Amino acid sequence: MTILVFADIVGRIGREALAQILPKWKTEFTPTLTLANIENLAHGGGITPHTVAKLIELGVDVMTGGNHMWDNPAYMEVFANKDLAGHIVRPLNDVGVKPGVGALELEKDGRRFTILNVMGQTFFKNAYPSPFDALDQALTKADPDSIILLDVHAETTSEKALISRYADGRVSAVWGSHTHVPTADERILPGGTAFMTDVGLTGAHNESIGIEYEKALTLVKDGVKTHLAPPYSGPAEVNAALLFFKSGNRLPASIKRLREIVTVLPN
């Protein structure tokens, strides 16, 4: 059995790049489950009914989130629609009262799955509660025989590594999202959990972590505030992690990085 994991799908260019590659990878790897992070799914950030429906149509089974998933007010429409909201896992340790669930259980092809999502605490504007405590609480309620998958949405590699070792042996796989750059450290941890610090974005390739270079430069070099957004078209990268499981096992046998560069045409 295989599971296909994408991190941040960024804007229109990311959605269209995914549409080019996902059918090919589904044919090649026949994943039982496909996951993606959607905090930047809509162009300019956040989520909308149209963009979430697009990923479901492409065959994404479960979507995880992060701090930017609330940037677009249209998230309220998404969570008001049960057909869309039923595919989404928001961070367990988010701040304030947020719609949706931080843990999602489902069964597919005779296998049971539990998907979890936590926020890191370092370098975020909001003071998020402990992801370690949130994970502990979630695992007391999770089916211990299910395949448990954890998206750690965090800024620093060190925090992602700490959470992964804390979860080692208790979950099936941990991967990082949010920082958009794929890391070359995929491995099986000592306790049997698959780990990759960041799976990497699916989005613009020759830009600043998916954001238009000129706008990012204006902000960082000149200190001029501007609306940061990805380009609509151009070269795009598609990054993912592929988990391999032997029959009946809840811990994976291996994890593999996937990456392709494509061209997304204008509307």
Q: Which residues are catalytic?
A: 68
What phi, psi does 204 have (nearest 5°)? -60, 140
Other C-beta atoms lying within 10 Å of the C-beta of residue 30: 10
Degrees, nearest 5: CA angle 201-205-209 = 55
Q: Give the integer Cα–Cα distance in Å for 266 and 231.
A: 10
Residues 6 or more apart whose Cβ sits within 8 Å of residue 207: 213, 216, 230, 231
Sign of CA dihedral 161, 165, 167, 172: positive
Element (H, E) at 150: strand 147-153
The distance in angstroms from the start CA to the end CA of the chain is: 37
DSSP string, 19-65: HHHHHHHHHHH--SEEEEE-TT-STTSS--HHHHHHHHHHT--EEE-
Q: How far is CA 11 from the centre of its chain?
A: 14
